[in-house]
Amino acid sequence: MADGAVGNRWCKVVGAIAVQLCLGAIYAWSVFTPSLTRVAEEGGIYCFTAKQAAWIFSVGLAVFAVVMVVAGRLQARIGPRKVCLLGGIVLGVGYILGGVFGGTFAAQLIFIGVIGGAGIGLAYVVPIAVGVKWFPDKKGMISGLAVAGFGFGATLWVKAAGSWFHLIEKNLFGLPEVQGVFVLYGIAFLVIVALGSIAMVNPPPGWKPQGWEPPSQTDAKAAASGGTDFDSATMKRTPQFYMLWVMFIFSALAGLMVIYCIKLFGIDALHYRGMDVAAASTVAGTAMAAYAILNGLGRIVWGSMSDKIGRKSALTAMCIFQGVIMLLFYSLGGTAAGLIVAACIIGFNFGGNFALFPAATADFFGNKTVGVNYGWVFTAYGIAGIAGPQIAGYFKDAAKGAETPAAWLTPFVIAGVVCLLAGVIGLLLRPPRRAASAG
């Protein structure tokens, strides 16, 4: 069955990006951390510790990753459109409740972290699984495009939050600024994800792109191009699964650490070197927005590049590049230009994870089973989502009262070293042997 019989497959990409724009709001978390951690003496309402603010973000990421396993199985049973719509509803309701009742740490942890994270986990895998099925000929590129909105979305929601903070100063909803923004976020998520889910449908059985032929099951390259389908149980018996999983933990840990702390670190580092707090906050906000833009761009570029140079080479290069920059991040962050440039590079490399790992999962373990299998690989992201922000939060809290930003050096070095280790693992990657497959 050719392209013309089912319409333009690129419409699925538009729907995917719309959905991911909303899911990426979790990466805007750093915009809330200064307000959440402001002490009472400075007018703070919430007075959370740095670790508490990190826990809301970390729990959201962890629940997101765990629920993805369920979502992969669920979409195979009831279809991707329904799962995507359900995810949008859960995400939107979580943020609305977080706005209305989120005056305490426990409430934000439950509504934003647990319920919001579950909504992201339900919807996130759908555009990837649908995209790979519609674009088996361009898996790296389409994986990048399908999740590019997640990275770009952070910029949108950071900017929206800034504008809405001023709006809510006039008592919109009768809520404090942070909670009022949560309500506005939730309403937007409900509407946009519902519209994007309309395009989330699988191609009909037997469909393939015009002029493309799938690799033969007897082809020696089939196991490296998605031609051999592994079920999840079989996949988890291969060393390749664990190699990808550990690489994902190490690589994602660095990016998630920076997402959590870039505004706090930027303010600390720039203020220590003579910049006033207001100006430092503005520069750090710019770095955060630049991070988000390059995060989205990195998904597209790394994905497209991997189609040309191979998934192994792209994964290895990305991890090593990220490791080097993380080791330099503390020094680079001491100037406005250095902070923004470093944020761009880290965001660009971090974005590559979300194009390369789903494409590698499809390559190694099959195109048809990627929706379920990538959910298992993606549990690595949940672990990284706890480890990265918590390591940074721990060292920041431990240095309370210190006059220098030196507390940030150790977590950045830890992140840099594990990224380099991920690059070493990448050098050892080989496609799984077809004999290991259940099929």
Contact status, residue 269 vs residue 290, Cβ threshold 8 Å: no
Mean per-residue pLDDT for 319-325?
96
Q: How far apart are alpha carbons 384 and 374 in whole angstroms? A: 16
pLDDT digits 0-9 by tens, 301-321: 998 898 889 889 999 999 999
Q: Give the per-residue pLDDT at 134.
A: 85
What's the pTM?
Answer: 0.74
Does 285 have pLDDT greater than 90?
no
Which domains does the chain show, CATH number per domain? 16-202+230-430 (1.20.1250.20)
What are 68's two structure tokens? 């993805």
Which amino acid would we find at residue 235?
M
pLDDT at 422 > cutoff 70: yes
* 36-83 residue pLDDT tens: 888 788 778 888 888 888 889 889 988 998 898 888 888 878 999 999
CA atoms of 109 and 299, how far apart (whole Å): 29
User: Residue 250: CB partners within 8 Å, gap ≥ 6?
Assistant: 319, 384, 418, 419, 421, 422, 425
d(CA 379, CA 234): 17
Measuring CA to CA, which residue among 183, 157, 125, 161 is closest to residue 358? 125
